[in-house]
Structure 1
């Protein structure tokens, strides 16, 4: 049975995304209402295309971020970065960390990704010096160490408790 856990979003990320789109839409509307005969058609086309691009980039693409658990595999979709499939046999360890208490696994440096408040997605360096692929919202995360990779997976979808329960039942045992 496939189960999909969506990353979701935070209030700060929504505010940022919709704010940028509203700003560009406002500039576009203002440009349409003023100096119509002096504005090249290219500018109008560019501003409209920019609005659609930002909607795609800030709303549609992040909505595809998530984790699917199916048939002894964990499939992680980090939009515009990676799609990772992990088999049960490839997992060395799996544990829950609270970044407020265990700061070694807290993201320190974003190497290729996005982080805004509790929303973290992409490649990061952790405080302990290890590289990690993050798909996380909140202060708790599941850290998966892989046998044949030089990075950790740090996962925390919106339904974190349900995610931990399904991983325990259908994938590997999670150490709390």
Structure 2
């Protein structure tokens, strides 16, 4: 059974009222706490996530370097499947790292390129192949999206917890009403006088 909901009166749980129960005041504090934790927690964790992602992407931009690599095999010709990928295919390449050692790996190159063609690849500090790092504007968008997602995810936790607490309070309140009705309801049927 759900409670009757009349017109909303803001702040009624905070006002002195002979009909206000302890559970009403407790629910008011639960709602206030949930909103504060939701807003503050969501915003702070969202900002922290945004800052962390921005730092990580800035570190990648600073440490990852473009290197000229040479194809060690002829790249496959473009097919209809690769045509949608702007004519780029996977092929084996070889490059010399900053440590002077020769490295090999697979990179996306123009379809149909011949052996020995120079291509630009990106490497990290260890000389391993990586993707091209995000530009400042791309990093800003990624960081903002991560911050919003993390903030909303964190904010959902106290919202769900508050909802569960409020449902339990509502059930308890309805049980109290049922008990009171069971106690006083039969008295209404008696005739007086």
TM-score by length of 1: 0.30
Give the structure with the higher percent helix: 2
- Which structure has more relative contact order (CA 8 Å, sep 6+)? It is 2
TM-score by length of 2: 0.27
Q: Which has the larger radius of gyration?
A: 2
